[in-house]
Amino acid sequence: MPAPDLFSPVQLGLIHAPNRALMAPMTRCRASTGGVPNPLNAAYYAQRASAGLIISEATMVSPLSLAYPNIPGIFTTAQTDGWRLVTDAVHRAGGRIVNQLWHAGRTAHPDAIAASPVAPSPIAAKGNASTADGPKPHATPRALETGEVPLIVEQFRAAALNAKLAGFDGVELHAANGYLLDQFLRDGTNRRTDSFGGTAHNRARLVLQAAQAAVDVWGPGRVGVRFSPSGTFNDMSDSDPRATFSTAVTLLDALPLAYVHIYEADSADIRHGATDPVPVGYFRQFTRHVLVVNGQYTLDRARDVLGRGHADAVAFGKPFIANPDLPRRLQAGAPLNTPNPETFYAVGAVGYTDYPALP
């Protein structure tokens, strides 16, 4: 059979994507007070409804997950109602959208959450946290007691239910980029000696239980999981990422997921110690699910990874910020707008909903 084209349809579990150019999850810091999505957010996502699938920005499952100012949550009625504005707008525009569920763990700052951040082990991340008062050093987190870990699973379950009530087409668990699920997975941040630490199997236990909770809510074919095996963001490391993440992907293969999403190492990861990045194609042997890849992809790179059979779909990040009609532009060979990093996390419509589409 010929290799799939980026503009051919793909079935992600029960979600039918008309093309394989997905929109990657991207924090934009434009939610209203209390983490409530608003009409401006709805306009932004609706503009990008031509994506094969939109994966929303990371969305807090708990008040203890507040890692950046003005980010959305999905643990209150007001937040859930706000997301309904977004999903209705995307669906009216003919699109599909899943909600990325997120717990920041140790990257939350005490000033923002009025408590100690939680993590698998009391190891502070190097560098600074983002707060409403500017950058501040990361705090040493409090290690979760074994009996508290099921409460985290229940937060993901409740968030998955709220996402369903909000009208999403599914959910994605954020187990990447140095946040709580990723912190449990990697031995650089997980020094536990209970059933959630030690072996790769034990360290994957939390993400497996959270995924099972989401599947219990959504049923088969509506839940994805995102990993960053070679990522160094938020001071992350692992002694054997191939073993760690192949174990996690293999365990998840027993669940009826929609897809597995792999973020590749980028140039920043290489600079910060990812000396032997795990190639995305490595994970194909461990999963029967649709494999989505992400990380500084161009049209040529996307076609190459699909042509080699290393992935089934490609998630684009920054190109979707500046090009709301990205699939159309790529297919037509049209020039791309250049994103402005100074407005990635700004306030208001500038750099958010004012990028032009093709005539």
Contact criterion met (CB below 8 Å) for 230 and 269: yes
Residues whose CB is less than 8 angstroms from the CB of residue 136 and which lie 6 or more positions away in sequence, other chains included: 109, 111, 128, 129
CA–CA separation, 295 and 278 (whole Å): 13
Neighbours of 242 (CB within 10 A): 15
* Catalytic residue from among 179, 263, 352, 355: 179
Number of residues that this document lists for the chain? 359
Q: Identify the bridge partners of residue 313 per DSSP, sorted by sequence position.
A: 292
CA–CA separation, 332 and 294 (whole Å): 22
31, 171, 178 from 125: Cα distances, Å:
26, 27, 9
Neighbours of 129 (CB within 10 A): 24
Residues whose CB is less than 8 angstroms from the CB of residue 340 and which lie 6 or more positions away in sequence, other chains included: 322, 351
Neighbours of 140 (CB within 10 A): 15
Q: What angle do CA 172, 177, 180 make, to 5 degrees?
A: 75
Q: Is 179 a catalytic residue?
A: yes
DSSP secondary structure letter of residue 225? E
Catalytic residue list = 179
